[in-house]
Chain A
Amino acid sequence: MTHDPTDASNSDLELLAFRVGEQEYSVDIMKVREIRGWSPATSLPHAPDYVRGVINLRGAVLPIVDLSARLGMDPIKATSRNVIIVMQLETQTLGVLVDAVSDILTLQKSDIQPPPELANGKANSFISGLTIVEDRMIRVIDLAGVLPETGQAAA
């Protein structure tokens, strides 16, 4: 996962691509803190179904979101082969459970198209852009949308 810094200077964006179900997604690599294997989470009562619970990340409590369930698909059957991508969103740290990490992409910002306006469905609000790499469509995830809706859990 090393990359040449000189390479980064003439490119706008580096994305970490990963697989959820049959689809490929990506996030800005600068938001990624680490990638770790799945370890059983402590489930939270009254939490939405996509919140798998919390794990101990070196002494910090890290909530885990099942991205597949979050996007309205079947929950991931977590095994040791799945990975948790630890991401930093402003002040909050979040673990996102995905099937596998697939690639690191280096793109120009112009390579990313906005999602089509007419697209319907739950997943749309989590997608901030689309791009094509080697004939594969890769969705760029908007992390803020993935965050569990806390506070409302108190309802």
Chain B
Amino acid sequence: MDPMAEIKASFFVECSELLESLEEGLLQVQGGDTDPETVNAVFRAVHSIKGGAGAFGLDDLVHFAHRFETVLDEVRSDRLAIDADAVLLFLKSADSLSDLVAAARDETPVDEAKNAVVIAELETLMPGGGDTDEATADADQDLDFAPMTLSLDLPAIDSQVDADIGEVTDEAAATTPVWAICFTTEKGLNQSGNEPLFLMRALAELGPVTAICDTSDLPSLKLLDPSQTNLHWDLTLSADTSQTDIEEVFEFAQGLCTLAITKKTSDQSTPDTADLEALPVLPDLPALPDLPAPSVNEYAPAQPAAENTAPESPKPPAPTPTKAAPVAATVRVDLERIDRLVNLVGELVINQAMLSQSLSAQNLTSNTTISTGLDEFQQLTRDIQDSVMAIRAQPVKPLFQRMSRIVREAAHDTHKKVRLVLEGEATEIDKTVIERLADPLTHMIRNAVDHGLETPEKREQSGKEPEGTIHLRATHRSGRVVIEIQDNGAGINRERVLSIAQSKGLVPTDAVLSDAEIDNLLFMPGFSTATEISNLSGRGVGMDVVKRAIQSLGGRISIQSTPGHGSTFSISLPLTLAVLDGMVIEVSEQTMVVPLSSIVETLTLADAEIQTLDQGTQVVHIRGKFVPLLDLAVEFGYRAPNVIPEDAVVLFISAEDGEPYALVVDTIHEQRQVVIKGLADSYGYVPGVAAATILGDGKIALILDPVDLIARAGSPDTPTALSMAG
């Protein structure tokens, strides 16, 4: 990648972070946060985006960010009070800004009309119209992006300091005694680790100091001995101090310099300050007592360096950078590197399993050093694995924040009033899960606004607040992450759902369905409750797509709905896509892994009672319930139907609708953690199979997707040659 493109790419990465903090800040303001630092943070985010955009010549972005920033600056400097409408407008502007950033990144056209509207609205907030502001702000802008700005400020600071000294000495001269110090370095001063500058700084702590350096002793460059200073200083100190105190300063240089200290009268000192020459050490002397920690000389070179790494680093002059809340140090790492690490750890886990398998084959007793060492190794492997997974884990916060925009837009389009409440944003999930969750979650949030919540009028009629509330909640629950989307709307209109499903031929007209079954009709392909196709949802892509997406992440989705009180959609997701707790089973000499999370119960076939219904449909009779039976070997085409081995084992699997299914396997080997190896990239989709893994013997075993398996078993077009034949 060419270096400019690289810098640009990192700018866009930073932009998305800035946009997040912008939105976060605005939401805090909306929530009643009046801390000026919050407004400052919002301002800084916009300003930084503008700065970076300016450096890359992204004019549209600069233009918009500039207008936005101008208004925010008014707010920041308390010239403009913000009300709820203004915050909404700011949020809208933040959305537009984010669109512009995206457009600049993807080099796609911008919706200029929309932005113009937002800009116009922003302008109306301005107390004094746009013209003058623009002029000043443009100048401001030029200043901000000139990389040398702060270095140029330096002489200004120096001269100001000089002026201060002048005044101080003049004023001080009247009351305090003035000391003239003649300081001549001798050979050996530098060798002993002394430095005239430090001496003079120390002297400056006693009182204001002026220094005149006499360079007449300096030999020509050819003869110059760099270990010698060859300099003579005439120092003037105005301080109410004693000669001993002054001598004490030079204590360490004793014998290495010639020192003459004389007390002068005040009128003698004034001419000295007048013909001060600009000497390199001079500005430093008063700088120490007057300025905070970093000395001016150190500060100057640091600035251009910062300029290179972060194009938007020049801060607006007003907020002090040091005031920002302390942030934990982070490292930005290429995701590919982490993935490689995750893969390697996966290998390590497999390797360790192979090692313990071959050791157990040696029939060693359990208390040998080897087996205890192996136990420790196992523990370490697990720890490493957990740590590596933690690197990939990210809080759901950015994802949730994106949803607040979706809610705003959807609420605007449907003319509803919606409040989004985020809970558990700090909950962490695997990065890939977060990325792939964005689309389904967007869809569900839109659905919640569009279908879930009623219009303000309807809400008032049924005695609710006109403003609807959507809770977006993330929690950790028994090794999984549960994300809930809860609205306080009207709930699912089951009658309507059923009649639509019947009219579309999705269920027989005479079917009697339970409430849960009716709710689950929403997930059926081709089901869409919207009577007219709205801009938001009802494009034919419905909840079935959402369900499919969640399932592909190893997740489950379920609905609870109470008429009149709203609906809750729960998505349960695995913490990581890299490892899985599974049960290792065998079917027709094929070793496979069944995800532990899907197994409800296991049973040996002898205890279970098999009943045959019509044409090979078998059910198991357990605790007064008939559970449909599936022979895994038959489903996968390894065995002809109806020849279930005597000592087979039945796994009870909970299907999507909560109904149990019985899956017949030959034997259960063990329960263990397996590393998931995707099949999709190397081969493709295999029906009923979620992924593959590598077992301790180095062989590949397939990881089943029992829910997919059950869903397919019901459909007549299962492409199993044997089952078709039987």
Contact = CB atoms under 8 A, between A and B. Distances in A.
A46 B682 contact: no
Contact of B685 (A42, A56, A93, A150): A150
B686 A46 contact: yes
Nearest to B343: A59
B542 to A, nearest CB: 20
Nearest to A94: B682
B224 to A, nearest CB: 59
Contacts of B683: 44, 51, 54, 61, 63, 148, 150
A55 interface: yes
A60 interface: yes
A91 B682 CA distance: 9
B298 to A, nearest CB: 51
A154 interface: yes
Interface string A56-78: 10011111000000000000000
A132 interface: no
Interface string B682-694: 1111111100101
A59 B702 CA distance: 14
Contacts of B635: 45
Q: Give the interface size class of chain A.
A: 20 to 34
Chain B facing A: main interface SS:
loop
Contact of B590 (A42, A56, A59, A148): A42
Nearest to B636: A45
A42 B702 contact: yes
Given A46-B637, A55-B700, A155-B719, A61 B686 contact: no
Contacts of B679: 44, 54, 61
B265 interface: no
Contacts of A42: 590-591, 692, 699-702
A20 B353 CA distance: 37
A45 B700 contact: no
Given A59-B343, A61-B677, A47 B686 contact: yes
Interface in A1-41: 40-41
Contacts of A92: 681-682
Contacts of B694: 56, 59
Nearest to B680: A150
Contact of A56 (B591, B681, B698, B717): B698
A19 B230 CA distance: 89
Given A42-B590, A46-B719, A154 B682 contact: no
Nearest to B697: A56
Nearest to A54: B700
Contact of A44 (B346, B686, B698): B686
Interface residues of B, number: 32
A137 to B, nearest CB: 32
A153 B687 contact: yes
Interface string A64-106: 0000000000000000000000000001110000000000000
Nearest to B689: A45
B719 A148 contact: no
Contacts of A43: 590
A151 interface: yes
Contact of B686 (A45, A91, A155): A45
Interface string A118-145: 0000000000000000000000000000
Contacts of A51: 683
Interface in B676-726: 677-679, 681-689, 692, 694, 698-702, 717, 719-720
A55 B694 CA distance: 9
B9 to A, nearest CB: 22
Of the candidates B591, B686, B689, the one having the most CB atoms from chain A within 10 angstroms of its own CB is B686
Contacts of A63: 682-683
B605 interface: no
Contacts of B719: 46, 155
Interface in B610-654: 635-638
A150 B590 contact: no
A41 B702 CA distance: 12
B636 A60 contact: no
Interface in B560-598: 590-591
Contact of A150 (B346, B347, B638, B684): B684
B504 to A, nearest CB: 24
Interface in B658-689: 677-679, 681-689
B350 interface: yes
15 contacts: A40-B699, A42-B699, A45-B686, A45-B687, A46-B636, A46-B686, A47-B686, A54-B679, A56-B698, A59-B346, A61-B692, A62-B682, A63-B683, A151-B684, A154-B685
Top 7 A-B pairs, shortest CB-CB distance: A150-B684, A45-B636, A63-B683, A42-B700, A59-B347, A61-B682, A61-B677
Interface of B: 343, 346-347, 350, 590-591, 635-638, 677-679, 681-689, 692, 694, 698-702, 717, 719-720
